[in-house]
Structure 1
Amino acid sequence: MVDAFKVLRVRHEGPLLKVQLNSPETGNAVSGLMLDELLAVLDSVHNDPGIRVLILSGAGDDFCVGGDRREFAEFLRTDPSGVAMRTLGTKARRVCDALATSDAVTVARLHGGVIGAGVALAVYCDLRAGADNCRFRLPELALGMPPAWGGSLPRLIQESGAARIRELIMTGENFDAARAAELSLLHKVVPEEELEDAISAWTRPLVRRSAAALRTTKVMMNAYASASRLADASLFDAELLTASVAAGRAGRS
């Protein structure tokens, strides 16, 4: 795969696909462009049965510090109707769904800040390893928004439990890698210099697994863990995100 992306760095190493969020000057904030490029990569994985594992990481000091709030403000300034914001929210949901349902096993390689949309991208990966310098936060309420990015709320509740996620969202508190492991948001915590070895310990056996068995196992686990689509209120997240951001902007004007 030729890396022709602007805010991603993509390397294809046999059965491994390494995808790095590559906008370190913004803390790898998730923009519409980044979502477009992630969708393109994930679509290519769907069409390449040779890829067994996708590793998602971030360049620079942080994995991802959240959504691009400057872009949110610009969208609302230039498009008060909210169409651009709804489109962005829909893309976020599609990316998270694609990570969860990809035929490849998706692995999050986390370090530094893992905040907001960064938590959503990570939690939709099948396996998550973090450096001991990880700092997590779900800041949406403090920013005047509901937790409506990428349909992450039901996934967070599935992984960690409603009571614990309620506390983190309501308080917006920072928490470290050890706490994230207690909440099952991380499967492994290691010193940053050992993070690559920890990821390799997963990928070495995974690339030898039957592609059909991996795919079927993921489908089964998603089916057992998820509520039916008819009952999934996160399908309305794009609308909720648009309405709340617009309302917050109106309140400040």
Structure 2
Amino acid sequence: MITLLDRPIWSALTTTHKGLAEGDGLARRYQPGFLPMAGMAVDTSQAATDFAAFVRPGETLYVLQADPVLAPAGLETVVATEAVQMIAQHVPVAAADEAIVALGAEDAEEMLALATLTKPGPFSLKSQALGRFWGVRESGRIVAMAGERMRQPGFTELSGVCTHPDYRGKGYARRLSLHVAGQIVKAGARPYLHAFASNMAAIGLYETIGFSLRRSMHVAALRRPD
């Protein structure tokens, strides 16, 4: 069952997030406005054709999978890099943290501003439709956050971990990651996450809260020219 995570976007959009999917055949994408992410069931010419069919002119979609990503005809590769997928082996029980609060729809614009500044990965005003988010406020504004993104039966991705540059060094990323992972476990799923392979600081942080490497991954941004 864990092989669902080899192509996490495809597996999310054909199971738990099926209601947020667009496309048919051997490719799916998140509906515009949710996440600029898409996936294929297999790497075949038919899957590539199905994928290319839903990419709008000037649009860029991200693909994340275990196999190298090959751009379908008509699309160009804007970015191609290596990532890691980590999965929770044992999440330490976190002490109650009164600084961490649940974030809601009324926080969407502030969350997007923080994500735009810190670039933790694809994020939108509708990202809360994917899962729950929590944050830390200082002087009334959100200075750090983390939440849930992709979901598959039995698994939930920890994502969107970010801290405003002016508030780094306070341990917010670790505290929020530990909190979100604990909430995922409490809900009956197993937490997993992704990080760029070059981001050793993030990988080291996640190892301290019970995550270990599951496998290497490939991420690419594919764009259809205007």
Query: How does the TM-score come out when normalised to structure 1?
Result: 0.24
The structure in which a higher percent of residues are helix is: 1
Query: How does the TM-score come out when normalised to structure 2?
Result: 0.25
* Greater relative contact order, per chain length (Cα 8 Å cut-off, separation 6+): 2
The structure in which a higher percent of residues are strand is: 2
